[in-house]
Amino acid sequence: MVISTHPSHLSLPQTNPGVTTVLAYLIIKFPYIDAHIWQQRVLDGKVHYHDGSKVTLQSLFQPQQRIYYYREVENEPVIPFKENIIFQNQHILVAYKPHFLAVTPGGIYVNECLQNRLRASTGIDNLQALHRLDRITAGLVMFSTNPDTLSDYHGLFQTRKMHKTYQAIASINKDKPIKGLEWEIKNRIVQGDPKFCMRVAQGDANSHSVIRCLQQLNGQALFELNPITGKTHQLRLHMQTLGWPILNDRYYPVLQPLCADDYSAPLQLLAKQLAFIDPITQKPMSFSYEGNLSLPA
């Protein structure tokens, strides 16, 4: 059994979904975790409130209460790729996340995530991710190292003042030259079926990206992608919109059957650069990952 050394948390919603106790809410909130497991966690004192007091089997649901719990899994896979720190100061840390490593705990991953690996290696227990990347996407992730300024840096992402640049590789028609061309994609992205997949729907656009072809060779091309908005799976869907799904994408255009990770075929998507005006110093900051996605010769 692998148990997280740091608690996860959630806030009970303002609108009661029809439950009486905190335990009942946890059971419907996490349908893939058996009810008896939540019951045992509560009995073992592994679920508590912000002040440290324990949630009991009889604890009543109260809107907006913050609940803390500890993720645990029977067998946690070890991701055989190494992260590295690009920059660190008294407010933030920027790190490179390899393919297949989650940013924060989720599903079968507890300690095998970037946040907990960095907490262990730096000794900064309150290290907190400021944004997310898909587990199968590689690239730069920024963390807060100081709770007093966390909201200042988180605000960069909320207000779209963080400029992100990605790279992606896709298969193309080798007979059509597209190097140097640029496309502006705007469409409406909504939750699909199953709900972890997204889809493009009719209606007002809520997503916006600018995509440019940097290189093309032997039926494949390297693209630079600049997301203006930050919808889930936005860049993957926008590449599909252009007719060039990202290489090794197991969700788009067709969801592939669930299987073990193929470390030899990572999704060809890289979060290459983060650029912003530092909210504390008001100076421009820019961080780039030195590596690049490369087209096969």
Whether residue 284 is preceded by a cis peptide bond, meaning omega within 30 degrees of 0, is no
Same domain, 216 and 142: no
On whether residue 277 sits in a domain, the answer given is no
SS3 category, 222 = strand
Could you tell me if residue 279 is inside a domain? no
**Given this model, what pLDDT does residue 129 score?**
97
Is residue 195 located within the same domain as residue 116? no
- 150: exposed, middle or buried (C-beta count within 10 Å: 0-12, 13-18, 19+)? middle
Query: Contact at 8 Å (CB) between 275 and 160?
Result: no
Q: 10 Å Cβ neighbour count for 173?
A: 12
Contacts 24+ apart (CB under 8 A), 84-90: 85/118, 85/122, 86/140, 86/287, 86/289, 87/287, 88/122, 88/145, 89/145, 90/145, 90/146
Residue 50, domain CATH: 3.10.290.10
**Which residue segment(s) compose the domain that 92 sits in?**
84-159
| 295 neighbors 273 (Cβ within 8 angstroms) | no
Residue 276 CB burial class (10 angstroms; 0-12, 13-18, ≥19): middle
Give Cα 41 to chain centroid, integer Å.
27
pLDDT of the chain, 297 residues: tens digit per residue: 788 888 888 999 999 999 999 999 999 998 888 999 999 999 999 999 999 999 999 999 999 999 999 888 888 899 999 999 999 999 999 999 999 999 998 888 988 999 999 999 999 999 999 999 999 999 999 999 999 999 999 999 999 999 999 999 999 998 899 999 999 999 999 999 998 999 999 999 999 999 999 999 999 999 999 999 999 999 999 999 999 999 999 999 999 998 999 999 999 999 999 999 999 999 999 999 999 899 987
258 & 169 share domain? yes
Does any domain span residue 31? yes
Domain containing 134 — which CATH number?
3.30.2350.10
Give me the pLDDT at residue 215, please: 96
Q: Are residues 171 and 123 in the same domain?
A: no
* Residue 17 located in a structural domain: yes
CA 8 to chain CA mean position, Å: 15
- Same-domain pairing of 151 and 206: no
In a domain, residue 79? The reply is no
Q: What is the pLDDT of residue 171?
A: 96
Give the count of domains, the chain. Answer: 3
